[in-house]
A and B are shown apart, each in its own frame.
Chain A
Amino acid sequence: MEIPESIKKRLTLPAEEHFYAGHTACQGCGASLGLRYVLKAYGRKTIVTIPACCSTIIAGAWPYNTLDAPLFHTAFATTGAVISGIEAGLKAQGYKVKGEDGVMVVGWAGDGGTADIGLQALSGFLERGHDAVYIMYDNEAYMNTGIQRSGSTPYGAWTTNTPGGKRHFLEKRHKKKVIDIVIAHEIPYAATASVAYPEDFIRKLKKAQKTPGPSFIQLFAPCPTGWRSPTDKSIEIARMAVQTAYFPLFEYENGKYKINMPNPKKEPKPIEEFLKLQGRFKYMTKEDIEILQGWVNHEWEKLKKLAEVFG
């Protein structure tokens, strides 16, 4: 149904919808929202590549496509390489790639497919400087295979292969800072984003579109199924991840850092505000929470310093 022009003006996101309903994401899925936003930003002149992940299913089993845009399903480790190839194939045939009127080449991969098995291909893609956008939707575990830890799983989180229990066996490693690894490649544009802040996310997608070369966005996307959280709390949890500075939103543009949220001049909310909404953290002891808070503080201070020195 066409939205009246008078209303369109008041919308904070593009009105056009290129993400079809009827998909099979779980109730309250953050990843499906993320995909919806990507297509709102770029429209159908976008070639999306999705490796093995929840989005493989979300995007439609054969013969259906949830995306109103061309989509290539690929193998787990290959997102960075496939988007490199698509970009090369387009250029070889004379297409304009990236920019306002160019074809957008988008890699859409989960945290496992990015932080772990796809890290090498991601690095190659970044290093070679292809005109494409890589989006890592981060739900902090292998959700499609049934909630196993990934490199992006935070300290203290329950997963099926780091189960909490009487013997207290939890994830003991801190979340891998993929964005930092990406920035080490000194690409023109990298950012973090959250499904709780779609205006910010779409602004960043647009910036990525305008910036030549590779862009990377790490999108925080809650998974109620894997996080053992109520389906209606997905946005609230994502918002809290930002406000506790557990997952701060920032941009790295041409060597400069800029913090978007939370306000660096204010004390972030305590991490417990984020943890208490999710069942996956219920096995954490007080000491565990302190350890995680310590990590958050340390990373937040580091980011603030970077923004101060390279702002």
Chain B
Amino acid sequence: MSAESAVRRIERTPPAEIERVRKWIFTEEYREKNFARQALVVNPAHACQPLGAEMVAHGFKDTLPFVHGSQGCASYFRSTFNRHFREPAPTVADAMTEDGAVFGGQNNLFEGLENAYSLYKPKMMAVFTTCMPEVIGDDLTAFIKNARLQGHIPADFPLPYANTPSFNGSHINGYDAMLKSILETLSAGHQSQGGDNGRINLIPGFDANTANYREYKRMLKAFDVPFTLLADISDAFDSVNDGTYRPYPGGTPLEEAAEVLNGKATLALQKYSTVNTLKWLGEAAQGTVESLAMPIGIRNTDAFLLKLSELTGKPVPEELKAERGRAVDALTDGHQYLHGRKFALYGDPDYLLGLVGFLLELGARPWHVLCSRTTRKFEKEMKALLETSEFGRGCTVYINRDLWHLHSLLATDPVDGIIGDTHGKYLARDHSIPLFRVGFPIIDRINLHRLPLIGYTGTLNLLTQLANRFLDIQDETCEDQWFEMMR
């Protein structure tokens, strides 16, 4: 229609109508309508595959993540990490444009590899794709082979690569794909012929809490057992400020990772973000390969330590036993501030499983559990977990629903607290429910990734944050006559 034919005066929405809709979106009727939608997604709680691929790449020493595809994607991933960690996230892209879309991205890849290798002097580049080359069908295997043959990159330079289409799964799948490729690449030709080397491979999975990695390392060191953390982002995303910028301030040493198949055992602390990696390891590795729930809460941590004890043949160290005792003490002391409180949670499957375990053992109720991109398997596992406790009764799991669905749930069936990443702050505000920032990304508070949430220390931290926030609220909202010195 032409502009002229359609000229009509600006219409302003009457205040009464605004008021009507403002109330309406909190109704049961709206909730039904909202849950009936099939095409529209509003405020999802998941990112796309290449972001996960980039994160795992940062976890290896001297490794440069390399985005094959649009430059803009790389900027989005990087800035997301920059904001969450408040740290650099050096990553290059081969900046494909229209001609790439027509002719494929091989030339971009060649030139990109050459420049990145020369300028940023990595020891490994981890290549992963955005949706553009995925849609046009770029053949990375061939491209990389050609790059070596044509001398764009030394023949022996490690170039793991992963297809990480954004229209499939979420960031945790990209994490998995890239991790598998890195380990395959590095371990090629390193399979020992003798027995295992006694090391434990530990895979935390997609976890943007750097303190968790340090906590894993501390626990393993307490066992005094050789281990390899795959992939260790803790120094990459929580590095010192001593006046010198270093693009690769840490990460799993490549030589260590190369020995992954020779370890005594591999233990993943997330299973949904490591499916294919574990599958491959299960086939290729000498040692046992297992996954456990993320060690959030007492029992999940117990299970982790028991497993370490079993794998190493060593007792759980006294220092960790004492930590357990102190964390349990804090829980018994603090349970009254959380018992029976209802929570809404959203985030990645493995985080959700860990957190729900913790809430249940505290007598709190994980009332709405939402994962915006996951599988029926997860739904089933979460339901089974909820059924293990009387505090799981009445709690509901929602998969492939988004935060606008959660908006309706909170409007019609409210809770006491929300646990999730920064994106939930609008829910928190709309419903006057505190948000406990856990997960990724957290881009409106500082340092939260520097406080561990796993292990007994993490359990203590979670307890402290939850209970004290409720006490803050009580003190802030009560009338004078209920305002008290003690709580």
Mutual binders A and B: no
* Interface residues in chain A, defined as those with a beta carbon under 8 Å from any beta carbon in chain B: none
* Interface residues in chain B, defined as those with a beta carbon under 8 Å from any beta carbon in chain A: none
